[in-house]
Amino acid sequence: MVAADRSAVAGIISRVGNFNQAEIDCALELVGVYLNDPHQKDYHLLVAEKPDGAVGAYACWGPTPLTTGTYDLYWIATDPCLQGQGLGQALVGEIERRVRAAGGRLILVETSSKDSYAATIDFYRRLGYREEARIRDFYDVGDDRLVFAKRLAGQGAGE
C-alpha cells in the first residue's frame, strides 16, 4: 500500500457496510500509522488491484505482541461490487505466504457473530480458518466475538 491508495481504501472501508464509525476510524488510524511511520513494525498493509490498477481490496495484519510466531489479521475489506471475485482470497494467500516467510506459525482473526457477518465467517472457513473461541456478548448483547485461527503448514501446524 502506498499513500495514493489511502482514499480508495477509505472508500472501500466505508462502503462495506459492516463497520460502524468507530471501526472505520480505527481502520483508517492503522492506515495512517503504516503510511506515516516507515520504521514501525506493528502493521503491514496490502492492496489488491483490479486489472485497471484501481484498488479493489485491502488487508492489514501484524505480529501479535508478546508471542512467538503468532500474527493477527486485523482488517480485510473488498469493495462490495467486487466481492466474490477472489481479491480477498488472494490477499489472505499473500499474507499467509509473508507470515510463513517471517517464521510465523499461527494467524488469528477476530470477527462478529452478527448475521451481517455470515459471509465473512464463511469466507474464513473456506480458507481453512477454524473457530477457536467465542466470547458471548463481547461487542454488545447478542454480538459475540469469534476468534478464528489457522496454523500454517511447516510451522507447527500439527495437521
Average pLDDT over residues 16-24: 91
Question: For position 71, which CATH number holds?
Answer: 3.40.630.30
How does residue 51 score in pLDDT terms, banded at 50, 70 and 90? confident
Query: Would 61 be classed as within a structural domain?
Result: yes
**Cβ contacts of 158 within 8 Å, gap of 6 or more:** 151
Query: Would 32 be classed as within a structural domain?
Result: yes
Asked whether residue 1 carries a pLDDT value surpassing 70, the answer given is: yes
Query: Would 129 be classed as within a structural domain?
Result: yes
Q: How many domains does the chain have?
A: 1
Range of the domain at 73: 3-151
Query: Would 156 be classed as within a structural domain?
Result: no
Average pLDDT over residues 93-101: 97
Query: Would 157 be classed as within a structural domain?
Result: no
Cell of 138: 463481547
CA distance 159 to 156: 8
- Residues 53-93 have pLDDT tens digits of 899 999 999 999 999 999 999 999 999 998 989 999 999 99
53: left (phi over 0), alpha (psi -120 to 50) or beta: left
pLDDT the model gives residue 154: 63
Dump the DSSP string for 87-111.
HHHHHHHHHHHHHHHTT--EEEEEE
Query: Would 158 be classed as within a structural domain?
Result: no
